[in-house]
Amino acid sequence: MSLSTPSNHTSSDHSASTDARSARETVASKIMPLLRTFLAGDLPVRFEFWDGSAVGPLDGPGKIVLRSVDALRRILWSPDELGLGRAYVSGDLDLVGDVFATIAALRDAAPQQSRTGVRALPAALNSARRIGAIGRPLPPPTEEANPRGREHSKRRDASSVTHHYDVGNDFYRVVLGPAMTYSCARFTDATTDLEQAQAAKHELICRKLGLHEQGGARLLDVGCGWGSMAIHAATNHGANVVAITISPSQAKLARERVVEAGVDDRVEIRLQDYRELGGERFDAVSSIGMFEHVGKQRMAEYFTTLRSLLGPRGRLLNHAISSVNGSRLGRRSFVYRYVFPDGELIDVGDVVHAMQDAGFEVRDVESLREHYARTLRAWVANLESNWEHAVELAGAPRARIWRLYMAASAIGFEDAGLNIHQVLGVVDAPDGDSGMPPTRDTWTAGTP
């Protein structure tokens, strides 16, 4: 019977009580059964909804703002980090306040046991229905990658690298700062700024490779980014550098930066895949923040190729993110779809083994885990302090992608879920001479 057509004197009373109850039933009041399927215990952060209602602590580290019912629809269809990421990238959901503390709080709010989740499912689905979140899946944001072709083929790797790096050099300048270096920095003390820390990292690598001991050494820099390592080695140690990348936009700006630095007579920037190298000889090879794109199935080929370019006493420094037992970025992970398609983190033990199999004697392994957490926090600070300009350059979805992935990665390095290692290998001479110094002292003696 219609509430607008009372049939007796009690119907109006019933209508009034129903209206009052409906007025009290905000999105916040309806959504609790749904939240309980994803979070256990007290809510770790505040949730605000499109109708102005809210639930959760007022004094939390930050808040999650759901601007549309579409945010819930995306999460229901992908009840994992991908659904949350899609909602954030699309602007249906926002992270307000301290993004690091908010992500850490959500991480610590461990999900309920699967059995509890199954029992709560009917109530959760009813909650979603009452809110209006039940419906057909929404198309993912256009920034989402879905690589095609044979994994780690040259064509597919080029496509994946282009997806990540060809966002715009000016956007990366906002995030990375003057150093234009997209890899873990090395902070020598509490007062070291990001630019100084990147220079310290480059200098440490130069010294591990022995470039300070031999003027005019020939260096190959694999995955050179915007040329920062090549410029540092040429400027500070007189190295003759061949630097390769498969990102056209990186190569273009790297060449411009080399000219500006006045080292274009000693640095050659090539648009070249590492698999196209051969028939050349180098004294040292640096691979900084590129190995994550290689993949475990091509790891042996990678190190064998680099070994073939080095003569006796030649050194390789491999600087890469790692994880215990290795970690392929699952196709349903946020980072795979939006940041590093086909990216793969390899256990440092497997890296050491593969380098030895390729003919290197591994001489040093160093973790820079805490340094990468600090580096990422500095990048996020750069992005947030220049947010409007970053959005103008790359669009709001891209800026959101970088904010979320860098903040979450910083938490991963801080809680040791992620690590980063520099592994140094050398090609021994036939008589066993490695040419290595007796101690590590000279590696840090001249660093900033």
Cβ contact 340:293 at 8 Å: yes
Residue 112 reports pLDDT greater than 90: no
**pLDDT the model gives residue 108:** 87
d(CA 90, CA 86): 6
Model confidence at 15, in pLDDT bands (50, 70, 90)?
A: very low
User: Does the structure show a pLDDT above 90 at 156?
Assistant: no
CATH, domain range 154-445: 3.40.50.150
The model's pLDDT over 373-387, given as tens digits with 9 standing for 90+, comes to 999 999 999 999 999
Q: Which residue type does 341 have?
A: P
CA-wise closest residue to 87 among 138, 47, 27? 138
Kindly state the DSSP code that residue 238 receives in the 8-state scheme.
-
How confident is the prediction for the chain on average, in pLDDT? Answer: 87
CA dist 323 and 326 (Å) reads 5
Quick one: average pLDDT of 144-149? 73
- Identify the band that residue 132 occupies on the pLDDT scale cut at 50, 70 and 90: confident
Average pLDDT of the residues in 296-305: 95
Domain-by-domain residue ranges, the chain? 16-131, 154-445
Map tokens 């290689």 to a residue: 294
How many angstroms separate the CA atoms of 182 and 60, rounded? 32
Question: What letter does residue 136 receive in the DSSP assignment?
Answer: S
* Amino acid making up residue 439: T
| Cα angle 375, 381, 386; round to 5 | 135
Q: How far out from the chain centre does Cα 140 lie?
A: 20
Which residues does 2 contact at the CB level (< 8 Å), separation at least 6? Answer: none
Separation CA 26–CA 54 (nearest Å): 9
Comparing 117 with 295, the larger pLDDT belongs to 295
Split at pLDDT 50, 70, 90, the class of 341 is confident
- Rounded to two decimals, the pTM is 0.88
Q: How many Å apart are CA 417 and CA 369, to the nearest integer?
A: 10
**Mind giving me the DSSP string for 49-62?**
-TTS-EES-TTSSE
What CA–CA distance (Å, rounded) separates 406 from 396? Answer: 15
Tell me how crowded residue 265 is: count the other CB atoms within 10 A of its CB.
9
User: Residue 92 pLDDT > 50, yes or no?
Assistant: yes
- For residue 359 the two structure tokens come to 């003919």
Give mean pLDDT, residues 332-353. 88
* pLDDT band, residue 164 (cuts 50/70/90): low
